[in-house]
């Protein structure tokens, strides 16, 4: 199954891509990531918190309970680390910028949906996140030769005109997250928040 978006083809992956089974959907899903005006506020996003006693981004489920945490580690090769809630060591994914200063980065994790594999290492997946556009930015989430999700600036939901260059340095745009079926929504939401913090929030 394919979905055509902005001239690119969003393709269903050959296998499910999952870090948590709870958030896998069997249909195309569009989410909205809506940052608050103050990027340093406690509730920086409607999906989570930036600062708590553990100084990280905290993701909560529909019942309000913590499920995941996103840590930023500037001095390490893997700049971002995703752990289970309340733990610094129970890592389930890492993210790292690519060498070229393009805004591209990689996201590596163990695919919990992979069951028919010969070894544990065969469960490891590396997604490549490719940035496009300077005026209206977008990110392709690529698995091998397939774009399985897209994160893009939303003019409709942003409070300020994204086309005005004078506002770019302070403007944190709302982001539309388009996810094809078989891809973990929490995984792509984490990627979108990394992009909002490190790319769109630093223009």
- pLDDT tens figures, 103-158: 689 999 988 887 766 666 668 899 999 988 766 678 999 998 899 999 988 877 66
Tens of pLDDT, residues 67-103: 888 888 766 555 888 988 877 777 889 888 876 556 6
Distance between CA atoms of residues 63 and 146, nearest Å: 33
Residue 2 in this model has a pLDDT that exceeds 50: no
Average pLDDT, the chain: 76
Q: How many domains, the chain?
A: 1
- Domain with residue 134: its CATH number is 3.20.90
- DSSP string covering 120-154: GGGGEEEEEEEEE-SSS-EEEEEETTEEEEEEEE-
Structural domain including 175 reads: 2-202
pLDDT (tens digit per residue) in 10-57: 889 988 999 988 888 888 999 888 876 555 554 455 544 454 555 678
What does the buried/exposed string (b/e) look like for 57-77 if buried means 16 or more CB atoms within 10 Å of the residue's CB?
Answer: bbbeeeeeebbbbbbeeeeee
Chain length of the chain: 203
Helix and strand counts by DSSP (H, E) for the chain: 1, 13
């Amino acid at each position: 199954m394919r979905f055509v978006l902005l001239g690119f083809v969003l393709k269903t992956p050959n296998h499910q891509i999952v870090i948590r089974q709870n958030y896998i959907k069997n249909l195309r899903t569009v989410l909205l990531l809506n940052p608050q005006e103050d990027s340093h506020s406690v509730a920086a996003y409607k999906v989570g918190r930036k600062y708590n006693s553990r100084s990280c981004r905290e993701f909560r489920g529909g019942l309000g309970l913590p499920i995941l945490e996103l840590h930023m580690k500037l001095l390490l090769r893997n700049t971002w680390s995703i752990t289970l809630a309340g733990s610094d060591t129970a890592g389930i994914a890492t993210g790292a910028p690519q060498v070229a200063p393009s805004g591209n980065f990689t996201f590596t994790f163990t695919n919990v949906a992979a069951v028919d594999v010969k070894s544990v290492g065969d469960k490891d997946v590396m997604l490549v996140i490719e940035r496009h556009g300077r005026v209206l930015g977008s990110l392709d989430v690529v698995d091998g030769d397939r774009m399985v999700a897209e994160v893009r600036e939303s003019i409709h939901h942003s409070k300020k005109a994204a086309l005005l260059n004078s506002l770019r340095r302070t403007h944190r745009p709302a982001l539309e997250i388009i996810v094809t079926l078989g891809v973990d929504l929490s995984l792509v939401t984490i990627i979108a928040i990394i992009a909002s913090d490190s790319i769109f929030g630093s223009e």
